[in-house]
Amino acid sequence: MPKIHPLADVQSDRIGAGTQIWQFVVVLKEARIGENCNINCQVFIENDVVIGDHVTIKPGVQIWDGMYIGDHVFIGPNATFTNDLIPRSKQYPTSFPKTFIGEGASLGANSTVLPGISIGKYAMLGAGSVLTKDIPNNEVWIGNPAKFHGFITKEGTLLSKQLKDSEGQTYCWRNGEIEKE
């Protein structure tokens, strides 16, 4: 059973066991949230949203229609998502672009993601970065606009573009995953 703070406005009944929703969170009726998630205060979640299991969403984040968030994703404070590339007051697109965040990905505080973007498994977007294109699996992107900076392992070890860690250990791709050589 989820734990929902009495000051949250949760309209959805599709919230997984063990999920904690803090005060001043709004979750609309059609949203789906997995198990053991931590939805911090002051988060807004629209209808056409799917959030996987073991996801952490820090304060000040809005999850708009068209978003799919995989398992074990971390979304830092005030990360910003958009779902309308050409927004106009009281003019709505017939459908919103789909934004996908892959399993284990991490988005830094105050990062911005444009609509229709895919972020690969275990990828990382640096704090304050503005993402304008897709990030492949296990890549680290930083800056404005965000650019490829290096790689990251599933466990969180940062690697250079040459797949070396800070101690000079070399890694390689095996079966779609980064591993030590």
CATH class held by domain 3-180: mainly beta
Q: What mean pLDDT value characterizes the chain?
A: 97
| Other CB atoms within 10 Å distance of the CB of residue 174 | 10
Closest to 31 in 3D by CA, of 79, 74, 65, 72: 65
- Write out pLDDT tens, residues 26-40: 999 999 999 999 999
Its pTM stands at 0.95
- Tell me if residue 72 is catalytic: yes
Counting Cα atoms < 13 Å in the Cβ hemisphere of 128 gives: 2
Q: Say which of 5, 54, 72, 149 is annotated catalytic.
A: 72
Six token digits for residue 172: 């390689």
30's CB contacts (< 8 A; 6+ apart) are 12, 47, 48, 49
